[in-house]
Structures are given as structure tokens and as C-alpha cells.
Amino acid sequence: MSDDHVYLTLAEGHEDDARWAYGTGFEDPLHGVDTTVPEGVDATELAALCVALADDALVSAQRLAEWTTRAPELEEEVALANIGLDLLGQARLLYTRAGQADGTGRDEDAYAYFRDAGEFRCVRLAELPDGDFAFTVVRLLVLSSWRLAHFEQLAAHPDPVLSAIAAKGVKELAYHRQYAAEWAVRLGDGTEESHRRTRKALEQVAPYFGELFTAYDVRDEVVAVLRQVVEAAGLPMPVYRPLPGSGRQGEHTEHLAPLLAELQSVARAHPEATW
């Protein structure tokens, strides 16, 4: 299977997605959307869902930002930075919705900068250190495939705000997945060294697969995407043995606290600052 075939297949249903500026258009996705929590929607559950999805995006964006000045090429540095900005934008919208839904009125800064690691609900795969470029590509492939499947479902959520956020995110995530798939095939089907590193990356992320499929019925869809890409890359599909614990329950790796310490340092040093 050629890599071009993989990209075309993964892009089906997303033909009109923007490929430049990576979803940073000028249209407000929430323009005209009623922010009242609809009857029949549990506000507490809605807020918890928004926080978890926002935490995934915020932590992933921070990891991608760490590639600035370190990416293999300038073009990839720009691409990874823009993917991180997409995720940061999703996090901002989701945190804002969480503050509206839970009645606290907390803003995005309160969620992002003034919670400790044990209060975060991101999946643990997002918080692992970057490692090499192959690991970042494989992790991005897994997380973007998983998040895209979620957001496609959430676009029909009864809460109109979450639905609008998800609909906007689908376009961004389709590009994230395509970018990661393209690089996974290039690396897996490249040199002996790039093949080795990509295979190792798959083995490293595999133990964290199980946590991704505990709450949502998207496993078959995500596994099908991963299988398609790894086969095109000439790689074996990894066998995963799920690790105990869950980031959704506040059980994290030792890597999250240092990441947050760096992310939150300026805000905590100057809590009343505005700019």
C-alpha cells in the first residue's frame, strides 16, 4: 500500500478542511450559540467531560511546544507548533465551557494554571516526555485518531456549546491525524534506523492504549486507523498490555508535575498579572 493511498483514505469525509493556518480561521465557533446548559444535560458531568478533554489538549500542546528549536526541520517545527496551537485553542474553549457548566465561573486560566497535578484528568499518554521524533509522531497519531473519533461523536452532543467546539475541532484533528500518518509511514518505511525507532515508539505507547478506550465506544474505529497506517509503514501492530491506573481518575506518571511546574510558573509567580 502506498503512503499516498493512506493519506487519501484517511482524508475521506474531510475534503473541505483547511490545510493552511491549521484551523486558525477568523470565524468564532461559538457565535450565536446559547450557553445555557440544556434541560436533560447533567451540568456536573458536562463540566467534568470538558475539563478532561481540555486537560488532554493542554498537556499535549505543551509537549508539542517543547519541539520548538528542536524539530528535524524548520517546516516540521512550524507544523508541530501549529498543531499545538490548535489544541491550545480547543483547551481554552473547553475550560471556559466547564466554568459555565459547573457554576463556578472559573476561567481558562484558573483551570490551566492554578490546579495541581492530582487535579488534572488528562490521559497519561499525553504527559509522557517527547523522546525522539518517531515517538512524538506515533503518539500524535494515536491521540489525534482517538480524539478525532471522540469529537465526531461529540459534534452531535445535546449541549450546543460542546457540539460547536467539537465540530470545529474535527477539522483540526483530521489534519493532525493526516500529518502524523504521513510521518509514521515515512519513518516506518524509511531507513533501517527510522524503522527501528518507529517500531520502538509503537511499543512504548502500546501500554497506554487501554486507558483510551475505557469510556467511549471508539476503539474499533481507532484501531482500524492505526492498523492501516502501521501496515503501510511495514510495521507490526503492537500488542498492548494495559497498565493499571487512569489519568482520568487523577492517577498520573511522575512526568506530569514537572511539566505543569514549567507551564504554570509565570502565572503562579504573578497571579494578579494581566497582559
Whole-number Å distance between alpha carbons of 97 and 106: 9
| pLDDT score, position 23 | 38
| pLDDT score, position 6 | 53
Residues of the chain with pLDDT under 50: 1-2, 7, 17-26
| pLDDT score, position 132 | 94
Distance from first CA to last CA of the chain, Å, rounded?
Answer: 51
| pLDDT score, position 103 | 87
Q: Rounded to the nearest 10 degrees, how much is the dihedral formed by the CA atoms of 223, 48, 125, 267?
A: 150
| pLDDT score, position 18 | 40
| pLDDT score, position 25 | 44
Q: At what angle do helices 43-65 and 133-154 cross, to 10 degrees?
A: 160
| pLDDT score, position 24 | 42
Task: Give the single-character DSSP code of 23.
Answer: G
| pLDDT score, position 273 | 79
Predicted TM-score (pTM) of the model is 0.88
In angstroms, the Cα distances linking 259 to 67, 128, 174 are 14, 9, 27
| pLDDT score, position 96 | 94
Nearest CA-CA partner of 222 in 180, 166, 165, 167: 180
| Long-range Cβ contact pairs of 185-193 (< 8 A, separation 24 or more) | 185/3, 185/6, 185/229, 185/232, 185/233, 186/3, 187/133, 187/134, 187/137, 187/233, 188/230, 188/232, 188/233, 188/234, 188/235, 189/3, 189/232, 189/233, 189/234
Q: What is the 3-state secondary structure (H, E, C) of 193-206?
A: HHHHHHHHHHHHHH
| pLDDT score, position 142 | 96
Grid coordinates given for 51: 475539563
| pLDDT score, position 243 | 82
| pLDDT score, position 242 | 76
Q: Which domains does the chain have, with CATH numbers?
A: 3-16+41-269 (1.20.1260.10)
In angstroms, the Cα distances linking 146 to 49, 71, 96, 109, 224 are 15, 24, 23, 26, 11
Whole-number Å distance between alpha carbons of 3 and 189: 9
